[in-house]
A and B are shown apart, each in its own frame.
Chain A
Amino acid sequence: MNSVLKISDLHVSVGETPILNGVNMEIRQGEVHALMGPNGSGKSTLAYALAGHPNYTVTEGRIEIDGVNVTEMEADERARLGMFLAFQYPVVIPGVKVADFLRHAVSNVRNPERKEGEGLIGMREFRKEIRERMTALDMDHEFARRYLNDGFSGGEKKRMEILQLAMLQPRFAILDETDSGLDSDAVRVVSEGLAKLAGPQMGVLIITHHERLLEFNPPQFTHVMLGGRIVEIGDAALAHDLHANGYATVRARHPDAEAENAKVEAAAV
């Protein structure tokens, strides 16, 4: 059976400020969805809320994986149910080696029943796997010994996110502008990497301003967000159109959402 990530009437606030005003979306394993929208429309907020960031408060609505309500779950519990967020700005963790971190993460995610302090996945099999994955992503094996994201270039950080995606094999992967700030080679590596990883076992939500990621990973569905709501849904052609022509016509078609969006944009300045 294909797993389903179901988002129903999701309202999310950051502090006192409402950002999402009723988002609905359904993502099945094996599907690729694109999420587009102008700045301030709530794309990253949706990504953080799905992953379970404590500062993003769900005020209404729910998030379910196969009917299990995850809305109140901690980020780690969601990860163990198969949720993954590739961060737009990966966080630096000084002194923590990539391999040590990933071995721990993989142990928890593959064995959701694992208790703190119980044994980790075998070192030999883990090392073999991470090396193969790094080779596939054109990464130097030395990365495994570096401190997590510490001193990494923008491109290295994004590759590290994709490596984590590859190792954790989530059922639902959200990619928050994974292609931003990269040169074209890095965008190609990341796009190809994702294309190889995504398959019938993975539902993907791609948040992007760019074409490239979507060229390699053509979406079956394109969602357009404005003012904290999904205002239009289409297929890959909609994504191409928005990329070519911008959001002016979308804004014009949805004046109420546009007014909401303008408020958030103004507050952000």
Chain B
Amino acid sequence: MSTDAPVKPDVKKSDVEFGSYKYGFHDSMDNYAFKSRKGLDPQIVRQISEMKGEPEWMTNFRLDSLAIFESRPMPNWGGDMSDLDFQDIFYYMKAANEQETSWDDVPEDIRRTYDRLGIPEAEKKYLSGVKAQYDSEVVYGSLQEDLSKQGVIFTDTDSALRDYPDLFREYFATIIPPGDNKFAALNSAVWSGGSFIYIPKGVKIEFPLQAYFRINSQNMGQFERTLIIVDEGASVHYVEGCTAPTYSSNSLHSAVVEIVVKRGARCRYTTIQNWSSNVYNLVTKRAMAYGDSLMEWIDGNLGSKLTMKYPAIWLMEPGARGETLSIAFAGPGQHQDAGAKMVHCAPNTSSRIISKSISRGGGRSSYRGLVKIHKDAKNCRSNVVCDALILDPASRSDTYPYIEVEEQDVAIEHEASVSKIGEEQLFYLMSRGLTEAEASAMIVTGFIEPLVKELPMEYAVEMNRLIELQMEGSVG
């Protein structure tokens, strides 16, 4: 169900239901601090940079990136983007003037939205710090005091450019340069918000840092830019969640996430992506992992119209390890083209990709992955396991594994399986008194169990709940 008509402020929004998608509501845009006009050109890019009071090098970086974006063709692989009109998007929408450090100071309707998403409550219970981005800008930020005393930086990327210019410039766009791909160029031109994290040497953060990305406006483009630097021997778990209102027109989310994991460090990056089904989600994520470090992507893709996302890990020095666990759920009208890339640049590096996808109600999921082993990267190991579960004949699953090996002395395993939800499994569970819907949900939950159990308890509960919502109305 689409909700083009603005929800009146006096309507009790919690009573509005949007099929099985529970986050399709939106707030009024009347009180926004700034709205750009629709469309993309050098003038808009300059305006964004000016609004933010950026140094000249960044303005030029943005303009150069725009030129790259315009010079590149649309990808002719992956998903169908034929109805994505770059001129029909708002590239910058600022809802509030200030970023607040207390929820009480966040404008009321925005705060109410985050309350409904459960963010302040989660913050109290089990998070070390929170960033809440609403359309283009971060509206709320917090970090536990003892962590900031230890030198941990957790801020939005705009503030980092202002407050930590040297650290920022040392790493920004070094992992993913604007020329990497068309959408990385787009993000580089119009980026706004995102998280900037620095974990000093040896600092291990016990509870996750969480960012929550919320699109509110119609025809919105959200282009957050995240940069995480985990210094030697440090460790961090970063979690991001994303939701958006349900509109009948397209929105675009195109993030760039760059991560550096230094010697002996650990970084786990968990995404629970639950965009509404009118959002194009075209994201570039890459980490560089140095000696004896561990980088993990845990990537849950449940929402969006089309997601194209292949979190990458470059294993730069011996002993580096990379792991990607990915879950994709493609429901009616959705295409999840997701996967992972592992690039072995040094000997004695190892990687593992586990991908599970579920397609139902005509949804389409694709695993697209790359394992690349450079010459002289001897004694590398890589293990790829892809399982797809198809719930009905209208749905589809594809696997596109790419393996490029320039070295003999390596061990690579690839297993792929596609299963249909078994009639015998359904009958077995139903013969014990479970309804068809309960039985299907149980089989699906079991299918992703090996990944969900990797999540912290709270997120595992959330993931199972989202899967149940996705399964609603799947029977009869």
| Residues 420-450 of chain B, each 1 if its beta carbon lies under 8 Å from chain A, else 0 | 0011110111111111111100110111111
Most buried by A among B424, B436, B439, B446: B446
Interface flag for A155 (CB, 8 Å): no
| Residues 228-263 of chain B, each 1 if its beta carbon lies under 8 Å from chain A, else 0 | 000000000000000000000000000000000000
The listed residue (B436, B445, B447) touching A76 by CB distance below 8 A is: B436
Q: Are A168 and B435 in contact (CB under 8 A)?
A: no
| Residues 440-462 of chain B, each 1 if its beta carbon lies under 8 Å from chain A, else 0 | 00110111111000000000000
Interface flag for A225 (CB, 8 Å): no
B102-150 contacts to A, CB under 8 A, are none
A44-75 contacts to B, CB under 8 A, are 51-55, 74-75
Interface flag for A119 (CB, 8 Å): no
Q: Are B423 and A55 in contact (CB under 8 A)?
A: yes
Q: Are B431 and A95 in contact (CB under 8 A)?
A: no
CB distance from A204 to the nearest CB of B (A): 16
Q: Report chain B residues within 8 Å CB of A80.
A: 433
> How far apart are the CA atoms of A95 and B356 in the complex, in Å?
13
> How far apart are the CA atoms of A30 and B450 in the complex, in Å?
43
CB distance from A63 to the nearest CB of B (A): 14
Number of A residues near B (Cβ < 8 Å) is: 34
B428's nearest neighbour on chain A, judged by CB, is A91
Q: Report chain B residues within 8 Å CB of A101.
A: 429, 432, 442
CB distance from B453 to the nearest CB of A (A): 9
B443's nearest neighbour on chain A, judged by CB, is A93
> How far apart are the CA atoms of A52 and B430 in the complex, in Å?
9
Q: Report chain A residues within 8 Å CB of B449.
A: 94-96, 147
Q: Are B434 and A104 in contact (CB under 8 A)?
A: yes
Q: Are B433 and A52 in contact (CB under 8 A)?
A: no
> How far apart are the CA atoms of A210 and B433 in the complex, in Å?
29
The number of inter-chain residue pairs (CB within 8 angstroms) is: 88
Q: Report chain A residues within 8 Å CB of B446.
A: 93-96, 147-148
Interface flag for A126 (CB, 8 Å): no
The listed residue (A78, A79, A93, A102) touching B425 by CB distance below 8 A is: A93
CB distance from B370 to the nearest CB of A (A): 27
Q: Are A109 and B433 in contact (CB under 8 A)?
A: yes
Q: Are B431 and A51 in contact (CB under 8 A)?
A: yes
B356's nearest neighbour on chain A, judged by CB, is A95
CB distance from A2 to the nearest CB of B (A): 22
> How far apart are the CA atoms of A104 and B437 in the complex, in Å?
13
Q: Are A96 and B431 in contact (CB under 8 A)?
A: no
> How far apart are the CA atoms of A92 and B445 in the complex, in Å?
14
Q: Are B425 and A164 in contact (CB under 8 A)?
A: no
> How far apart are the CA atoms of A78 and B431 in the complex, in Å?
8
The listed residue (A53, A85, A116, A168) touching B437 by CB distance below 8 A is: A116
The listed residue (B429, B431, B447) touching A94 by CB distance below 8 A is: B447
B424's nearest neighbour on chain A, judged by CB, is A91
Most buried by A among B428, B432, B433, B445: B433
B180-194 contacts to A, CB under 8 A, are none
A91's nearest neighbour on chain B, judged by CB, is B428
Q: Report chain A residues within 8 Å CB of B424.
A: 91
Q: Are A76 and B425 in contact (CB under 8 A)?
A: no
Q: Are B434 and A105 in contact (CB under 8 A)?
A: yes
Closest 5 CB pairs of A and B: A95-B446, A95-B449, A96-B446, A108-B433, A79-B433
| 5 A-B pairs in the complex with CB atoms less than 8 angstroms apart | A79-B433, A96-B442, A105-B429, A105-B432, A108-B432
New A-B pairs, 11, CB < 8 Å, besides A92-B425, A116-B435: A87-B428, A90-B428, A91-B424, A91-B427, A95-B445, A96-B449, A101-B429, A104-B442, A108-B434, A108-B435, A108-B438
Chain A positions within 8 Å of B, measured between CB atoms, are 51-55, 74-76, 78-80, 83-85, 87, 90-96, 100-102, 104-105, 108-109, 116, 147-148, 164, 168
